[in-house]
Amino acid sequence: MGNSLKAIVAFVPSDGCQKYLLEDLEEMPVDKMVDLSGRQLRRLPLHICSFRELVKLYLSNNNLTHLPPELEQLQNLQILALDFNNFRALPPAVCALKQLCILYLGNNKLCSLPLELRLLQNLRTLWIESNCLQQLPEVVCELSLLKTLHAGSNALRTLPTRLRGLRELRSIWLSGNLLAEFPSVLLHMPSLEVIDVDRNSIRFFPSLAHLPGLKLVIYDHNPCRNAPKVAKGVRRVGRWSEESPEPRKRSGAVIEISLHERPPPPSANKAEPEAEVC
C-alpha cells in the first residue's frame, strides 16, 4: 500500500478504513510489541488499548495530535514512541503508564510538559529533542531514575539548578540549543558520563577535569576560544580536542595553529548510545 493511498484513507474515520491502515492487526503479537510507525494514523484505534500485556508500542511518524484515555489500560507498557507526530501537549494518559522506562517525544510541537510526568518514576530514558521548549521543564528534575536525557534542537538558554538532583543521570544531549554559557549545574553532577553541547553559542568552557565519571564531551560548533579541560582518558569532540591541538598562547594573546600544522579534523559523525531496554 503506497503512502499516498494511506494518506487518503487516514482522513476517513470509519472503522473499516482504520482497519485497512492497521493491516488487520486484531490480536496482540506474541512478542508483546506493536509497531504502527509511518501508518499516517490520525487517531489510535481503541482496540490496541485492550492489549493489556503490551510492552512496546511504537507510534512514530504519524499524524497524531491526541491519544484516547483508554491508553492508560496498558499498565505493562515499558517503551512508548510518540516521536514525529503533531502533539502540542502530552496526552494525560501517558502519565498514567507507570512502568514506562523509555519515552520518545521528539519532533513534535511541545512547549511544556505536564506536572503529572513526575508519576513516571521508572523512566530511564527521555527524548524531547526537536520541540518548542524554551526552558527545560522543572518536572524533568523529579524523574529520579533518569539516566539519559535527549533535549537537543530546542530553544534552551539555561538549565534548572534542580537538575543536579538527578544522581542517576549519565548522559545529557543538548546540541542545537541557545546556550550562551556552559550550564553551571553540570559542573556539580559527578555521575555524568556524556555531555553534548554541540551547536550552541558557548564562548568559554570551564574545566571539567573534576568530573570523575566523564567519558565523552562534545562541544563542536561553538564560538569558543578554548577547549574544556578534562581528565586523562576522557574523549573530547570539538576544536582543539585530542585530534587537533589547542591554540598557542604568547604574551597573553591567543594565536591559532596555522592550517598546515593542524591534523585532519575529527569525523563529524558522532554516535549516540542506543536507548537501553528496561
Instruction: Give percent above pLDDT 70 in the chain.
Output: 78
**157-178: average pLDDT:** 98
pLDDT interval class at 247 (50, 70, 90) = very low
* pLDDT number for residue 264: 42
Confidence of residue 270 (pLDDT cuts 50, 70, 90): very low
Strand ranges (E), the chain: 33-35, 56-58, 79-81, 102-104, 125-127, 148-150, 171-173, 194-196, 216-218, 235-237, 248-250, 253-255
Q: What pLDDT digit, counting tens, does each position of 68-90 carry?
A: 999 999 999 999 999 999 999 99
- What integer pLDDT is reported at residue 23 of this predicted model? 55
pLDDT digits (tens, 9 = 90+) for 100-140: 999 999 999 999 999 999 999 999 999 999 999 999 999 99
Residue 239 pLDDT grade (very low, low, confident, very high; cuts 50, 70, 90): confident
Q: pLDDT tens digits for 210-223?
A: 999 999 999 999 99
> How far apart are the C-alpha atoms of 265 and 63, rounded to whole Å?
40
Residue type, 221: H
Q: Which residues pair with 126 in a beta bridge?
A: 103, 149
